[in-house]
Amino acid sequence: NSRNNTNHQLQANANGELAKDHLFIESRASIRQQIISSEDRVAVDNLNIGNRAEVRTFSLSPYYKNDFGGYVDALVRYTFDVVQFEEGATDSENHRTELDLSSGRKFARTFWGLRYSKESVIRDTGDDITYESLFGEIRYRLGRRLSALARAGSEQHNLGQAQTATFENGDY
């Protein structure tokens, strides 16, 4: 290692409103140094030479929000993430889709909600991973401090090489 190394640092965020009160976009980017081995020397600053690799991340997430006449609040979001390692780990792409529906402001005593998400992690080396979930709940307000609540949901995790797990749950 040369004593004339340059270690880059970046933390950038940018958000925008593309259509008033409805369509938005969020973005993030970073460059940082990551310790490669916990067995080698480790410094607490960004000046040490050796035992580190550069990690770059980027995220772009457009989303749509709407209040459908006070009856339904909706959020639809897509997120694209990239993680790139100089060395020591595998690069990956992450695609996430989310849909949230819930009761609007016109529901005073009853609340309901439904959430769906799917996430795919595509790795340069190793197996790709997929997570998918669907959850719902309904709540009825019986009084100022008491509500009846029911929840149910399902998750499926595909961890590659035929490793799949499904979880179903609920509480009442």
Question: What's the pLDDT tens digit per position in 44-92?
Answer: 666 656 677 888 999 999 999 999 999 999 999 999 999 988 876 778 8
Confidence of residue 162 (pLDDT cuts 50, 70, 90): low
- Averaged over 120-145, what is the pLDDT? 90
Q: Which residue, 110, 157, 108, 152, is CA-closest to 134? A: 152
As a whole number, the mean pLDDT across the chain is 86
Q: Is the pLDDT of residue 42 over 70?
A: no
Report pLDDT for 3. Answer: 62
Q: Is the pLDDT of residue 153 over 90?
A: yes
List the strands of the sheet with 23-35, edge to edge.
10-19, 23-35, 52-68, 72-85, 92-103, 110-123, 129-141, 147-158, 164-171
The encoded tokens of residue 151 equal 């929840």
Distance of CA 68 to the CA centre of its chain: 25
Distances (CA, A) of 90 to 114, 126, 149: 34, 8, 43
Q: Is the pLDDT of residue 127 over 90?
A: no
Dmax over Cα atoms in the chain, in whole Å?
A: 70
Confidence of residue 135 (pLDDT cuts 50, 70, 90): very high
Report pLDDT for 159. Answer: 82
CA distance 87 to 40: 16
CA distance 163 to 104: 39
- Averaged over 14-39, what is the pLDDT? 89
Q: Is the pLDDT of residue 116 over 90?
A: yes
Report pLDDT for 126. Answer: 79
In a 10 Å sphere around its CB, with 0-12 CB exposed, 13-18 middle and 19+ buried, how is residue 52 labelled? buried
CA distance 142 to 149: 10
Looking at 20-163, which runs of residues are DSSP E strands?
23-35, 52-68, 72-85, 92-103, 110-123, 129-141, 147-158
